[in-house]
A = this chain, B = another copy of it.
Amino acid sequence: MLRISKLTDYATLLLTHMARAPQQVYSARGLAEQAALPLPVAAKLLKLLAREGLLVSQRGAAGGYVLARAPQRISMAQILAAVEGPLAVTECALGRGVCEMEKGCATRPHWQLIGHALQVALEAVSLADMVAPKAAPVRLQRLER
């Protein structure tokens, strides 16, 4: 569990295809074919990614989508945030007052810590890393007290 949504997975797929030749303009139709996704799904995602600033869109004939930045500067954290909204492992991580047990809850700061570790892990992996043949160099370390 702790699974990302399928849509996020698809979005990553689309973006990695584009990352192989950045600056090129891709149509929704073409990308859907390459990624083997239904056109409506790909189109919906591309629109979303454009709205969220990860892609730049060009309307009209011969239009399409281009990566808004170099693949190195697009992190998995950004992709996930674009598709699924802000990262929040627990409800209380979203803000005050969401959870009614807030006052007596000693576990909250620790959840936040786990959430933070996850955030860092996601930020450390870029789109460029995702197309690289070798695994991205991220490692977790446990500090002794």
Q: Measuring CB to CB, which residues of chain A are less than 8 angstroms from any residue of chain B?
A: 1-6, 9, 12-13, 16, 36, 76, 80, 84-91, 101, 105-107, 109-110, 112-114, 117-118, 120-122, 124-125, 129-131, 133, 135-145
Contacts and interface: CB of A to CB of B under 8 A. Distances in A.
Each complex incorporates copies of this chain amounting to 2
A139 B117 CA distance: 7
A90 B135 CA distance: 16
B110 A114 contact: no
A76 B117 CA distance: 13
Given A139-B141, A142-B124, A1 B114 contact: no
A5 B1 contact: yes
10 contacts: A2-B80, A2-B84, A2-B118, A107-B131, A109-B135, A110-B129, A110-B136, A112-B135, A117-B118, A138-B141
